[in-house]
Structure formats: structure tokens, C-alpha cells
Structure 1
């Protein structure tokens, strides 16, 4: 009922999102299901890259036009390289959350509604020009009153204000996305690869947390507590008396942006040292605290000069944070064991334990790809990997990328945020120090993780080895049992699966013939519509018969050999 009330004033927006999705799904159905069934799979294959790119471009335009949550949808999809082709993720990667600011009169009204007092009483000064504006909210500089400043311990603040009406827009967008997710769940070629409703719910949870400023304030305090004993890392303090779910007041920690190399050098700060400190701070969050900043782009990290020539890193914007829960840590430990023993089978099992692969995954092709990965890079340590020509990694990615993308991967939200954080960290540090090596930054933490887990790892390896010994000990008796059964005539061989595949090939051949016949009749009819309309109409009408056979034979086609097979098997 709440959703319906939210949708009503934004019905045009709701319908536009669904109309866009339905048009794209019809095109998907036509190119990926209908054309291959009538013998035109080549057209589908040749046009797929351009079609995916045009789809992403159209969504880009839609997101910028609608704003609201759709900008976040595009940014979320740009990170889903596990379920989307690169043509889509690359196009959406450039989607920026830049929108016109809300008029100050509306911001003032929102602040006064949230705090229950006039703006002049809540703040001694409030800048009417926003510091930054985004689709969900905007930020303004301000100054606390003397009494509030005494209580908080600081006076200069940045106030984040949620856009008026954004709650209703988010409810509308999520309602539309859930509807689209339900559609996708009923399309088998999609549902076999992607759990679309689960993706929508993951996105919904992240988005609702991001607009809950009380949640962000708690994250900021938790982050600050984790680094309470580290003078090189800081976070803004929260003015709780001036904070609500839609309004967040933080101490103003604006300083030198971490990627402003000229300003850093002007302040006597070495960018190379900044890169090292930033990487260490990020990996400490991941490996030590299991709670990390998932959006460490340049606008969210400042380098703050300190008295005496020292400096520190100051993080802001804690709306998007990631955690490494115990279940994921256990799965990652299994991955470490599998990689250490170069065991492709065990690695696949560990990946399934983490929850990356959907039940429909063909794990055999994944296992083969992993085995080849171990064969090429498996014997290298961190230092050796860092010396590998990047082109070799790129060639390997191209060689096996199609195999990996064909699998129904779906990364858990925590792992996706982890990959995002590491990727942004590596890019930022490389910009500060062209010689930066991410392996050097990770190695101390990875080594500590392995030492912490060494007892469990040795135990697991020993159990695996003992299991192999047991299998080897039982093998002679099992072989003898099989030979005895063969001599007694007990063992039989079922060829029904081979015959079933032969039947499938025959049906495919007949459908291809029908597809070609349909194309000939349809094209001929279309050409004759001008000079000989009656004949053209007849040919187009007749073409429906082979089209129906080509499309429906795969759904209702029987096997002419079923009776013979049952006779032989009996």
C-alpha cells in the first residue's frame, strides 16, 4: 500500500522505467531466442557486441534524464562484471552523479523540518551555495552555534541534506526494479545465469542504507574507533544534536585532495609516501578490521597537513561500507588452501562455498580454466607476479574471459565491494606513484593472514592428504569388484544418452531447414508485395508454417526412436 501511494504521483516515471525495460527484453527475446531457433544464430552472434553497447548507451541517457536512484543503478551495474558483458560495464563506468542543486529555499525548509527549529537557531551560519550536489542529496558548509560548538568540540561543519521528495522517488524506482527483476526470473536464459531478484534486493539494501544518514554517522564513528590509535588516519566527528535520518552534520575536514599532486608537493608532502600510507590504511581495513571504505575515490580522501610538517589521511562519506563476515572469511581461507595446493577441484568447491556460483553453473569448464591458470601462473609468488608483463595478463584474460563470463557467477555484495575498494586503491596509488606495486602493499597482510590461519590450513591439508591415502588403499578392492561383476555379466552399459543426442541433432537439422524455408518465403513475399501483391501476401502467409515448426519443434518435438530405445533397454 505504501509503495502504491508513492508510485501514484510519479506514475509517468514508473511507466517510463518499465517501458524501457520491456523494449530491451523484447529485443533480447528476438535476437537471443527466436533468431537462433530459425537458423539465424550467426546474426545474433555478430550483432551482440553492438547491441549490448547501444543498450548501455540508451540506459545512460535514461539514467541522466531521470536522475534519482537510476544514476546509482547505472553505477551499480557498471561494477557487476560478474554478470554483465564488458560492453555494458565499460559504458556505464563513466556515469557521473552530477545534477543541478536543489534551490536553497527547499533545503532550508528540509533542515528546519528535520531539526524542528529555524535554520538561524540551528546554525550560526549556513552557506547557501552547495559544496556538492548529487542525485540523493547535497552538502553545504555551515558553523554551529556557540553552545552546540562547545558540546561537540568543533564549530565548522559540513551539512549533508537529503533531497526533498527523494524517499518517494526511491520507492518508485525500487518498485519498478523489482517488477523487472520478476520478469527476468521467468526468462530461463537469464535466470540460469543471474538471480535478478536477489541482485535487486542487494541494490535496494545498499541504496536504503546510503540515504539513512544515521547509518552513515554510525559507520563514521566505527571507522574512527578502528583507527583511534593511529595518528595517520582520521575521520570527521559527528554532531549528533544536529543529525537525523535525512540530515547529517559532520566536522569540516576539507583539506588537500589525495590526487592533487601539485598541492601535495607545495605542502612539502611526498606523493609516493601518500600512496604507501593510503594502501596500508585500505588493506588494514580489509585484513585487520574486516570493515572497509568501499568508495575510496579522490573526492572522499583528503591529505591533512599537521603541525611540524607531518600529515594524515582523512576519509569522508561512509555511506558505502563493506564488511568481510566470518562465513566469507571461511570461504576465502578455503580459496587460500586451494591456491596453495594448486588444486582446481578444491578451488571450485571453495568458490561454491563462498556463494559465487549459481547452482546451474557448469563447474567442469570453470575447473579446466582454473587448472590452466595454475599451469601458467601457479608457481609464482608475489614478487614474481609483479614482474609479469601486463600484456601477458591481458592475453590470458582475453583467452579465458569468455569461458568465465559464460558461467553463472554472482558475487556476494561484500565481495563485490571488496573488489571495488581494491581496484580504486590500486588506481589511486598508481596515479600518485607510477612505480607503485599493489603486490608489495598486500603481501604483509596476506602473509599475516596465512600465519593466523596456518593451524587450520595444516589441519585441512592433512585431512585432504589422509583422504587421498584412504582412496588409494580402497582402489585395488574396488577394481577387483568391478572385474568380477563384468565376468558375471552383471554390468550393463546405457547408450540412451547418446541416442538422445542423436535425436536432438536430427531435430535441429529439421528446424534449420524450416528456418531457411521460412526466410526464403518471407523475403520473396516481401519483394513481391509491390509488383504482385496477391502473390506476395500468399508467400508471406505460407511462411508462417515453417516458422511455427522451427520455433515449436524444440518445445514439443518428440523422439522417433523412443520406442526402439525402450525395447532395447528392456
Structure 2
């Protein structure tokens, strides 16, 4: 039963939807709100010019009127292009999270309470006029006592209670949609609400944002492609984040970039490379990479670079998904449609009973029209979106982290094409991804991973004989049932012997690989040849012992 206290808020939301004629957007929402249309005359006069607006623009204006938390919800919804029409997703992606600032005196008081010291003790100067203001926090300029310029991000007073109240309202709306919307099984409104809750919870912890900035900075501390401001941890808490102040222009400010004399073509190529390095090399990527959060350092003309800001939304992938995605991208670059189809099934994104020939034909149908264009006109992000939409016909199970990646790819391509409309994203991305995969799955890196995991294997090694003995004993019990056919008894005995032989060889192979790892790790100079011999012998033992299907 929905709490009565939420009724006024729900009525306000419905009134705004009626005013912006969002009960007529189609897709089933008109049928969902039909019982409440008698309220339309009481909803107020529609805004001027609304008759000529498309439904996406009306949705964006309604979200803006409903307030900051609904703006956040709209921003999250814009990433779910697998669930909502493209025109609405495009419109919601333009939502700006900007609200009037709260008084600077309150910001100063919050900083003093969080840092447990007077502002004058932490900073030599603190500007009470906000540099920027959003629904969750606002930013103030300050100076450390050693003269370094910083920015101080401060959570809004009472924001936790307001978010809890609005999240309850959004969840109530999600429950209504789940119950009454005819396409609820496809839209999954409660899943979207869960994503909004998770994002807001992350943004309420500025110490978490600082940790994300610190990791991204460490990943790119060497190189000239991306600069991440330093976190000043001594002046950072859950409610206050102090960062090095950086200077630049928005990545879509073409006039300022040209005035600085920066090579936009070179800069655009760096932007594409940065995406693939973050995702496939580091497995940690900026997931809110719109131009407002990606600046260009105009002081670096000869070697241009980007500056990253706002680390509240970061993404990462499970190691398995990372591998399957990389292989899918490579197959896409090489137009290997059969490989794409088999990878989707091997990754577990689709049921094993899917007919690969039908899936391959569907992938080819989507991709071939794109390859008739010049490569510079092909959008990888657009193609990936259409592939996901096509794959849904084959019961694709799409995880939220893949949606976040898809949205980031759209943002990065948008930045790249704004800087250089003629950029050949395929030519830039393909060699970068192949290089990253070659390094990631090289023999040296594999040995490094084995050496890293060796202590854990040694810790569990004493248990292996007991586990093998228990496995063989259980297998033996299964063959002692009465069987009428003697030939079947002999066959089962043969299978049991094969299983024991396979287990023995695989166990031997594992022991040899552990020995090889230890030899290489403890004596890297003198243990090279013994380690190599042990590693080869271990692999051969695995090959011999690996169970084979009986013909």
C-alpha cells in the first residue's frame, strides 16, 4: 500500500505531466494515465508554444520543472537507450543539473563542521560566492596556505533528507508504472529507479568521488593525454571534497580551442584513444564524459591534452565482460559477423539454444549498410546501440554496466566529432584496442598473473589431495548401482578410469605451473629456464589430461 504522505507529490507530478501533454506521448503511457484524465482541467494552463514541441522536448521541460532530483532521474533515463525511444533519450541527455546556489555563509559553516577546524586554519582564502551550483553540491574557490589554488565542493544542507523524500516519490511512481504500464516488462521501471538511487547514494559521498579521482589520476599520471586534478585528502570528508583548481575550456568550445592554436584533429584522436585505454587497459572509466566535464588545457598547444572533472559517476566491468566486449569490438572492426554471434552466446549474454546462423544474419543486416559509407562517417556508438536493439529479439540479457559503457561511448564519439567532424574513429580505435589486448594477454602478463596468484594457490594446495579423493569417491559410488547389461558396467568402469587419469594429469599440470611461477618469482634471473620447462610441461599435462568427449 502506497503511503498517504506521498499523495500530494504524486498529484503534483501527474499535474505537470498533463500540463506538458505527456499523457499523449504514446508507448502505453496514455492508457496508463487515462483513468486520471478528469484531472487535466485542474492541472493548469499549458506553457506557451507547447503545441509545436516534440515529445522529447516536452519531457525535458517537465523534468526541469519537477526539480533537481527528477533532473537526475532524467539523466539516468537518458542512458537507457535500450528501454526508451531515441528521440526521448536525446532530449533527456540535454538536461542540465543547475540550481541557484545556497548562501556562502552556510557553505563555510558546513566546511568547518566537516573538517573540524576554522576555515581560516584550512585555507588562506575562501570565496563564499559559488563558482558552480548543482542539485547535490556546489563549488567554491579557495587557496591553501602554501599558495596553491583549490576548489572546495560542499554538499547542500539537508540534501540527504530531501533526496530520501524524492526517491520515495520516484519509487512510488515506478511501482505505479510497474503495475499499470502495458510495456512494464520491457521498460523495467523499478530497475531504473534502483539505478537512480544508486547514483544518488554515490554522489552523496564526496570521499568516494575523491577516491575515484585519485585512481583515475594514478592511471594517467604518466603521459600527455589526460590530466586529473589532485585530491587534497587532509581537507576531504564525506561532505567536503577539496581538489586542485584547474583551468581550461569546455571540449565543445571550438572558438576558444582554435584561438589557442590547438590541433583539433590530434586532440580528437586522443579523446578516442582515452576511451579505449580507460575501458580495456585500466577497467575504470569516466562515465559522465559530456563536454562540461571534459575540458581542454589551452596552455598546452604543442602537446594538447584533456582535463577531467566531476568523478561522481565512474564505470568498471567484470573481467569476463571486459574480455568479451574487447573481442566483440575486434570482430566488429574486422566485420566477422559469425564471430560476433558466437561471442554473444559464449559470454552468456544470450541463451545457449539461440541459432547462431540466424543471429549472424541479423548482425549482418544491421552492420552491412554502415560499411557502404566512408569509414569516417561510421559511428561505432550508433552501431553498438542498433546491435543491442537487434539482439533483444534473441533474448539478450543486457547488464547495467554495459548500458553505462554504451552511453560513455556515445559521449566520447560526440566530443571527437565536435572537435574533428572528419575523424575516422575506426582507424583510431582498431590499432589501440589490438595493442591493449596484445599486452593484456601476452605471455609476460600471464606469468605476472600466475605469480600474483601463486600465494593463494599454495595456501589451498594442501587441501587438493583430499578434494580429489572426495571427488573420485563420490564418482565411484555412482557406478556401484546394479546394472543389467555387463557391457554397460565395463563402459562405466572405463569412464571412471579415464576420469581418474584426467584428474591426475590435470593435478600434475597445476603443480608444475605453480612450481614454474615460484621459480620465476623467487629467482627471476636464474630461474628462467627451469620455470619455462616446468610451464611447458604443465601445459602439456593439462592437454593430455583434459577430458575428451567420447566418439
CA distance in 1, matches of 2:306, 2:376: 31
* Aligned counterpart for 2:203 among listed residues 191, 198, 210: 210
Matched, 1:429 2:409: no
Pairwise mapping of residues 534-545 of structure 1 onto structure 2 (< 5 A)? none
In the alignment, is the contact (CA less than 8 A) between 2:257 and 2:298 conserved in 1?
A: no
1:97-146: CA deviation from partner (whole Å, max 9, x where unpaired): 222121223222322222233333332211222211111111111112x2
In the alignment, is the contact (CA less than 8 A) between 2:297 and 2:306 conserved in 1?
A: yes
Moved more, 262-271 or 163-172: 262-271
Map of 1:180 onto structure 2:
173
Map of 1:312 onto structure 2:
305
* Aligned counterpart for 1:296 among listed residues 281, 286, 289: 289
- Kindly tell me: are residues 176 and 192 of structure 1, through their superposed partners in 2, closer, same or farther at Cα, counting changes over 3 Å? same
SS of 2:306 mapped into structure 1: strand
SS of 1:96 mapped into structure 2: coil
Map of 2:433 onto structure 1:
446
Map of 1:544 onto structure 2:
none
CA distance in 1, matches of 2:366, 2:12: 49
In the alignment, is the contact (CA less than 8 A) between 1:141 and 1:157 conserved in 2?
A: yes
SS of 1:299 mapped into structure 2: coil
Shift of 1:91: 3.0
Shift of 1:305: 5.2
- Kindly tell me: are residues 388 and 337 of structure 1, through their superposed partners in 2, closer, same or farther at Cα, counting changes over 3 Å? closer
CA distance in 2, matches of 1:308, 1:453: 32
Shift of 1:84: 0.8
- Kindly tell me: are residues 168 and 426 of structure 1, through their superposed partners in 2, closer, same or farther at Cα, counting changes over 3 Å? same
CA distance in 2, matches of 1:336, 1:395: 11
CA distance in 2, matches of 1:353, 1:302: 39
Count of aligned pairs = 421
Moved more, 284-293 or 20-29: 20-29
CA distance in 2, matches of 1:395, 1:224: 31
- Kindly tell me: are residues 275 and 337 of structure 1, through their superposed partners in 2, closer, same or farther at Cα, counting changes over 3 Å? closer
- Kindly tell me: are residues 271 and 94 of structure 1, through their superposed partners in 2, closer, same or farther at Cα, counting changes over 3 Å? same
TM-score, normalised relative to structure 2: 0.64
Q: Which blocks of at least 5 consecutive residues in structure 2 are unaligned?
A: 35-49, 444-551
* Aligned counterpart for 1:163 among listed residues 135, 145, 156: 156
In the alignment, is the contact (CA less than 8 A) between 2:202 and 2:312 conserved in 1?
A: yes
Map of 2:136 onto structure 1:
136
Shift of 1:65: 2.5
In the alignment, is the contact (CA less than 8 A) between 1:290 and 1:323 conserved in 2?
A: yes
CA distance in 2, matches of 1:124, 1:87: 49
CA distance in 1, matches of 2:32, 2:253: 51
Pairwise mapping of residues 74-223 of structure 1 onto structure 2 (< 5 A)? 74-144=74-144, 146=145, 149=146, 155-187=148-180, 189-223=182-216
Matched, 1:281 2:286: no
CA distance in 2, matches of 1:429, 1:313: 12
Shift of 1:56: 5.0
Shift of 1:80: 1.4
CA distance in 1, matches of 2:292, 2:233: 24
SS of 1:249 mapped into structure 2: strand
In the alignment, is the contact (CA less than 8 A) between 1:83 and 1:409 conserved in 2?
A: no
Map of 1:466 onto structure 2:
none
- Kindly tell me: are residues 34 and 294 of structure 1, through their superposed partners in 2, closer, same or farther at Cα, counting changes over 3 Å? closer
Moved more, 17-26 or 71-80: 17-26
Q: Which blocks of at least 5 consecutive residues in structure 1 are unaligned?
A: 36-49, 457-570
In the alignment, is the contact (CA less than 8 A) between 2:362 and 2:390 conserved in 1?
A: no
TM-score, normalised relative to structure 1: 0.62
**Greater RCO structure (CA 8 Å; 6+ sep):** 1
Shift of 1:385: 6.1
Shift of 1:209: 0.9
SS of 2:252 mapped into structure 1: coil
Question: Whose Rg is larger?
Answer: 1
Shift of 1:250: 0.3
- Kindly tell me: are residues 66 and 192 of structure 1, through their superposed partners in 2, closer, same or farther at Cα, counting changes over 3 Å? closer
CA distance in 2, matches of 1:455, 1:123: 49
SS of 2:153 mapped into structure 1: strand
- Kindly tell me: are residues 274 and 121 of structure 1, through their superposed partners in 2, closer, same or farther at Cα, counting changes over 3 Å? same
In the alignment, is the contact (CA less than 8 A) between 1:83 and 1:410 conserved in 2?
A: no
